[in-house]
Amino acid sequence: MPSVVNYEINTSEYKVWNRDNIPPLRPTYIMPTHVNTTASLKEIDSVIATFLNMDGVSFEFNEQYHKWTIEYISGAHICKLEVNVFQDINQEVMTIEANRLRGDAYLFQDLFRRLRAILNKEPVPTMNNFMPMPIPDNLAVKLSDEDARAAIEPMIELAKDKNEYNQRIGVQVLCEICLEGELIHQIIDMGCVELLQGFTNSTNEEIRKLSNIALNKLSEGKYI
């Protein structure tokens, strides 16, 4: 008979399995970004599938908790969120909750409004591409090379900062400049390509992705 004192339990053998794919009960506290509905689970899954069917989206689905972990990239803006489905104790009302995990808060609000509109069968709002309105020709001012370099230099210094938050802001703005394309030559002459290449192995996922987006844009234009 084995000794009880020395007996070891292998916890990997014990798994919680959601046999009927039933969402968990709604918790007491929930984020304000949620929607209640009497739609069936099948309808809800179909709505979320429609929501996920757009460019820039990647996701993972956790069947056990009926939860989607989603990442959305729009230009130089990244938002990571989760979408949870809960049921009330009587299984009559379902709750779809969106929860921002990290990234752009404005982008998250855009995503939630889109999800809510699809669920409520309302007109789906256009996603904000975060690009400013074009300046009228009569008001447009072309920057001199000196002015362009003066505008880029602080972003380079931010990207070189040891603080990770400052690094991300600097890299994000450099990425936006690459995507806009007007100051590409200054970006290249000031050593930003090498700087961005150094961030492709960053431990910060957002910095790494933003660097790759910028470098891919430069590569598309055959600048590098």
Segments of the chain assigned to CATH 3.30.310.80: 17-119
Q: What are the residue ranges of CATH 1.25.10 in the chain? A: 145-220
Mean pLDDT of 31-57: 91
pLDDT of residue 155: 95
104 or 157, greater pLDDT: 157
Judged against a pLDDT cut of 80, whether residue 13 lies above it is answered with: no
Domain 145-220 classification at class level = mainly alpha
Find the mean pLDDT for residues 43-72: 91
Instruction: Examine the pLDDT at 68 and tell me if it is beyond 70.
Output: yes
State the Cα–Cα distance between residues 177 and 164, nearest whole angstrom.
20
Would you state the pLDDT for residue 129? Answer: 60
- For residue 16, the model assigns a pLDDT of 46
Residue 5 is predicted with a pLDDT of 53
CATH 3.30.310.80 for domain 17-119, yes or no, is: yes
Task: Give the pLDDT mean for 43-56.
Answer: 90
Higher pLDDT, 22 or 102: 102
pLDDT in tens, 121-159: 888 777 666 555 666 777 767 788 899 999 999 999 999
Q: How far apart (Å, rounded) are the C-alpha atoms in residues 185 and 178?
A: 10
Q: What is the pLDDT of residues 188-213, one digit of tens each?
A: 999 999 999 999 999 999 999 999 99
- Of the pLDDT bands very low, low, confident and very high (cuts 50, 70, 90), residue 18 is very low
pTM (predicted TM-score): 0.76
Per mean pLDDT, which range of 52-56, 123-127, 181-185 is the poorest? 123-127
CB–CB of 199/215 below 8 Å?
no
pLDDT of residue 159: 95
Residue 6 clears pLDDT 70, i.e. is over it: no
